[in-house]
Amino acid sequence: MADIDVKKMLAERVPLVDAEIAKYIPREHAIPNLYDAMWHGIGTGGKRLRPVLCMVAAEALGAK
């Protein structure tokens, strides 16, 4: 079994997850507090792990 560097895996993929989220929840917005609250809710620890795990699973199955 290969050694997996989880920190490296997250460091490489979390920016991709954040970029996708930003398409739907913009950082720059006209509605005060609404989007800020949404970013606050998803900004806490662990919220990027599931999307990254999905990406890794897809890559393991041959997705690009």
Q: What pLDDT does 6 receive?
A: 85
The token duo for 9 is 């895996």
**Local confidence pLDDT in tens for the 64 residues of the chain:** 567 788 898 899 999 998 998 888 887 778 778 888 888 888 877 788 899 999 999 999 999 8
- CA-CA distance, 31 to 16, in Å (whole number)? 25
Q: What pLDDT does 61 receive?
A: 96
- CA-CA distance, 54 to 63, in Å (whole number)? 11
Q: What pLDDT does 1 receive?
A: 52
Residue length, the chain?
64
- CA-CA distance, 62 to 64, in Å (whole number)? 7
Residue 29 DSSP symbol:
-
Q: What pLDDT does 58 receive?
A: 95
